[in-house]
Structure 1
Amino acid sequence: MRKALIIGINHYPYGGDLYGCVNDAYNVKNILERHSDGSVNFGCKLITASSTKESIDRGELKDAVEELFSTNAEIALFYFAGHGHIEATGGYLLGSDAKRGDDGLSLNEVLLYANKSTATNKIIILDSCHSGIAGTQPTVSDSAILAEGITILTASTSDQYASEEDGSGIFTSLFVDALSGSSANIMGDITPGSVYAHIDQSLGEWDQRPVFKTNVKNFVSLRKVAPSIPLENLRLICKLFPTPGFEFQLDPTFEPEQKGRDKGMPEPIEENTKTFSILQKYNRLNLLVPIDAPHMWNAAMENKTCKLTALGEHYRRLAEKNRI
């Protein structure tokens, strides 16, 4: 069971309305609720406030967060887009009713619920100003106190604002892009760590800086997209390259193309050309390189070899251990 509480608040009668948070919340819900093949991913609960009729007060916000983390889910994920506040007592997420910053839901309370949760993995994602303070005790400014299984990803550091652009939060736009597949590994898995890496690389040194804090033994997959290569082909990597540093011998029988063959060259062999097709896929994914040849075609036609890159060796070991 994977549950996500997704909250977006635009309506702030006492503190200045926002314009992209509700849209961001809908985008996060739409990307999280299903994997790319249409299968069910997260069961999402969406709460938004864009007018007086839909306002979300602190009590509703607190109750929803408490309910989320009182579950035995595999993953309990909390996403918030709205106003944030920071002061000496810590950080706050503001509901529509907030007249001053400390009227909001304390991030210390959010962390308390997450720390006590029986869910296997607790993930907190905040697109709000000063959200980088999440997980940090006010009295211990340089240390995060996270129970095992907690991951926090925030739009900005504790002293930065979270910006909107073209009707959406900059952070959330990158977050959704990462979940769409931009941060997927070869097997199609998208983890909190890969999402952070995507966002971190996309923002320059003068932009708001995302913050990532975690205490986990294993990263979980937030969403699955189509793998870059059929997994049955990837699993063959340890059979084609049975030992570290192994060089696979090629010859013209592996290349299906007739053009460019010298007179007397052996003809393609179907079984070899099928293998060569898989090797070419490895090459395109930076798992393999030809030795002493500029391209795989040259390697085959000139009787050269090919070998795995460091990344290829990583996947060879995974395949060898039945981890793929």
Structure 2
Amino acid sequence: MSRALLVGVDQYGDARDLSGCAADAGALEPLLARHEDGTPNFECRTVRGTVLREALLTDLDALLGPGADFALFYFAGHGREAHGDVVLGTTDGTGATSGVAFREVLERIGASAVKEVVVILDCCFAGGAGTMALLDSGAAVLRSGVSILAASRGDQVSWESRGRGRFSVFLEAALDGGAADVLGHVTVASVYAFLSESFGAWDQRPTFKANIERLHPLRHCRSAVDVKTLRLLVQWFPTPDHVLPLDPSYEPDALPRDPVHEAVFAQLQACRASKLVEPVGHQHLYFAAMESLGCRLTALGQHYWHLSDRGYL
């Protein structure tokens, strides 16, 4: 079972009010609540606008309580540097206690039985999360199964633009398929790769910290190549470096027609579009067939060949 707590704090009761955090949380909810095919994903609880410190801690306790094996915490709002940590600002924050220090979040995560926890922070100084010295050696330690995706470094602010957080707009695009692999899996690592490329050297820089053994998808999107096609790679290519001979019978425009070859060629075209297969002797797969040349697996195609060969698909 998967849970997600999405928090967007706009109201701070003074000139520090924000305008896009509630919208950011609301935009992410449908993407996390359902996979692209409409099947259920995270069971979401969304809190927007006015958020009080004690209420946020209560919601965190519920998120990390028994009954779930995957939990996601998203926060958009003010963040404040505090002795190597970052404090997540709440509406009732004061100078002495401006919200929830991230060490309080980490303490709850450390005590939780939830196996995998993903934290996504869209606030100023978000990169300070998880960097507090937790040992005498000064090393920072994340419990196994925990990953933190932050909108900026620990010494940077995070920006809003046109009523939305810039980070969260790109995060939304990543979850909507921009960070999906060939099979349609979107993971926290692929989301970070997408976000990292979305910001330049002069921009806020997203950060990623993790202590994980495997990547569980945050969301499933439509696969670029059907898994049944990927399993056929080992049949078409007996070895990863095999060159599959082609001829005009693979191309539907050629006569005489060969329905079996045409069906294979249609699947090879899908693999070509996803950079799994490349023609040999010509730039285009069509002419490789018409000129009786061939095709081979790319490095990415060989990766999926190995997955299929080992029974991982």
Residue aligned with 1:180, SS: helix
Find 2:248's aligned residue among 229, 245, 252: 252
1:264-315 Cα distance to aligned partner (Å, 9 max, x none): xx62311111111111111111111111112112111211121100000001
Which consecutive unaligned segments of at least 5 residues does structure 1 have? Answer: 50-54, 259-265
CA shift, 1:257, in A, is: 1.0
AA aligned to 2:233 is I
Taking structure 1 as reference, are residues 302 and 142 closer, same or farther at Cα in structure 2, changes over 3 Å only? farther
1:47-67 Cα distance to aligned partner (Å, 9 max, x none): 112xxxxx3221111121122
Which consecutive unaligned segments of at least 5 residues does structure 2 have? Answer: none
C-alpha distance in structure 2 between counterparts of 1:217 and 1:139, whole Å: 21
C-alpha distance in structure 1 between counterparts of 2:138 and 2:257, whole Å: 64
Show the counterpart of 2:156: 160
AA aligned to 1:310 is A
User: Which has the higher Rg, Structure 1 or Structure 2?
Assistant: 1
Equivalent pair of 1:14/1:97 in contact (CA under 8 Å): no
Show the counterpart of 1:314: 303
Residue aligned with 1:114, SS: helix
TM-score, structure 1 length as denominator? 0.92
C-alpha distance in structure 2 between counterparts of 1:290 and 1:276, whole Å: 12
Find 1:282's aligned residue among 271, 275, 297: 271
Q: Does 1:123 align with 2:112?
A: no
CA shift, 1:102, in A, is: 3.9
Show the counterpart of 1:261: none
Deviation larger for 276-285 or 101-110: 101-110
TM-score, structure 2 length as denominator? 0.96
C-alpha distance in structure 2 between counterparts of 1:138 and 1:101, whole Å: 21
Deviation larger for 6-15 or 239-248: 6-15
Map 1:257-268 onto structure 2 (within 5 A). 257-258=253-254, 267-268=256-257
Map 1:153-232 onto structure 2 (within 5 A). 153-232=149-228
Equivalent pair of 2:84/2:131 in contact (CA under 8 Å): no
Q: Does 1:145 align with 2:146?
A: no
Find 2:288's aligned residue among 257, 277, 299: 299
Question: Aligned residue pairs: how many?
Answer: 312
1:14-45 Cα distance to aligned partner (Å, 9 max, x none): 46100000000101112110011111111001
CA shift, 1:216, in A, is: 0.5
CA shift, 1:70, in A, is: 1.9
Overall identity of the aligned pairs, in %? 37
AA aligned to 1:152 is I
Residue aligned with 2:72, SS: strand
C-alpha distance in structure 1 between counterparts of 2:85 and 2:74, whole Å: 19
CA shift, 1:89, in A, is: 5.7
Residue aligned with 1:297, SS: helix
Deviation larger for 99-108 or 172-181: 99-108
Taking structure 1 as reference, are residues 203 and 143 closer, same or farther at Cα in structure 2, changes over 3 Å only? farther
